[in-house]
């Protein structure tokens, strides 16, 4: 129990930075998903958006895609 508290304490002081390309892709995904909410076939739009992001990130394997998802 104390180990978890120690780890949480350490993590609170860490500032994580995002690669600018990852940030841009994340923003694009959010935008595309928000646009897709207005369409009837949302599941296909979500999959298409994820595939576009995977292509931009250079994810070529299903294992890599699952890890990123």
pLDDT tens-digit profile of 9-30? 888 888 888 788 888 888 887 7
Q: How far apart are CA 25 and CA 59, in angstroms?
A: 13
Copy the structure tokens of residue 63.
């294992």
Contact 38, 51 (CB under 8 A): no
Convert the pLDDT of each residue in 27-67 to its tens digit. 887 777 777 655 555 556 677 777 777 787 777 777 766 66
- Residues with Cβ within 8 Å of 20's Cβ and at least 6 positions away in sequence, in order, are none
pTM of the model: 0.39
- Please give the pLDDT value at position 62: 73
- Please give the pLDDT value at position 34: 72
Contact 54, 25 (CB under 8 A): no
Other C-beta atoms lying within 10 Å of the C-beta of residue 53: 19
Domain ranges of the chain: 18-68
């Amino acid at each position: 129990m104390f180990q978890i508290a120690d780890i949480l304490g350490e993590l609170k002081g860490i500032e994580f930075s995002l690669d600018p390309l990852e940030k841009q892709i994340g923003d694009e995904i959010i935008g595309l998903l928000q646009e897709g909410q207005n369409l009837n076939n949302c599941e296909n739009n979500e999959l298409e958006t994820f595939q576009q992001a995977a292509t931009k990130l250079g994810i070529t394997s299903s294992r890599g895609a699952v890890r990123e998802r």
